[in-house]
Amino acid sequence: MRTSSIILIVVGTIAAVSASVILASDSNSEPESVPIYESGFTYYDIELVQTALAEHGIIVSPPTAITDDTIGQYCLYFDEGAPRSVGYCTTTEVRDSSGNAIGNINLGGSIDSPILAIVNLETTTTTTAALNADRGNAFTIFENVIESLVCDCWGEQQSERFPTPTSWFEAVDEFYLDSDKRDIKSTIENLEDTRISLEITSKENSVLRTLLILKI
């Protein structure tokens, strides 16, 4: 029987610092083995994300295909510590209710089906006040992307400590702030055959919140 788990990692400048593992509830049954490119979300599901976020005044542009040598800038991910790229990638721009560009949502994999989704949202200053101000939009976007591309089943499969996706986002965000804004990564394994990671990374003049959904 499959289980889901939450792994919290604080990333240092030299090496990763260990993390604790919080076990969550078991899923109901063992799913059948299906090739990852033939299961889960598709490129067309960006329309579900667009519709869901429009209800919150957040606009997601039509997707643009990236097929040239810049593809690694949009759909690069790490698997077992090694960088991985894909053969096909689409990107969309995300704007808040005031029309400000706040990030992008990228789907990548083969030309027929994606294997990953990456949501990058940037706060353009490093102040705690600015990060807190951007929380609402970031958490709304992350939660709706998970529900649209993975499932609306969080409450059935995750631990009581994090009964909703937002409660997990908040915990990671607060850990980042309480640790003097050290880079942080938190991962959920085996939610409907996906690995979901949330990373917060400090840059010179901004902070990047990244949600990665990877089919497994």
pLDDT of 22 reads: 31
Tokens of 35: 């090739």
Instruction: Report which residue type is found at 141.
Output: I
Number of structural domains the chain divides into: 1
Tokens of 4: 């889901």
What lies within 8 Å, CB to CB, of 142 at 6+ separation is 119, 165, 169, 198, 209, 211
Domain hosting residue 175, numbered range: 3-215
pLDDT of 24 reads: 34
pLDDT of 82 reads: 84
pLDDT of 212 reads: 97
Whole-angstrom Cα distance, residue 105 to residue 118? 6
Residue spans of the chain under pLDDT 50: 1-2, 10-34
Axis-axis angle for helices 165-178, 128-149 (nearest 10)? 150
What lies within 8 Å, CB to CB, of 160 at 6+ separation is none
- Residue 56: exposure state from Cβ atoms within 10 A (0-12, 13-18, ≥19): middle
- 144-167 residue pLDDT tens: 999 999 999 998 876 678 889 999
pLDDT of 4 reads: 56
Tokens of 137: 């939009």
pLDDT of 78 reads: 81
pLDDT of 203 reads: 92
Tokens of 41: 């979300």
Are 106 and 127 contacting, i.e. CB atoms less than 8 angstroms apart? no
Report the relative pairing of strands 3-11 and 21-26 from DSSP bridges. Answer: antiparallel
Are 173 and 102 contacting, i.e. CB atoms less than 8 angstroms apart? no
Tokens of 127: 């102040």
Are 103 and 128 contacting, i.e. CB atoms less than 8 angstroms apart? no
- 199-214 residue pLDDT tens: 999 999 999 999 999 9
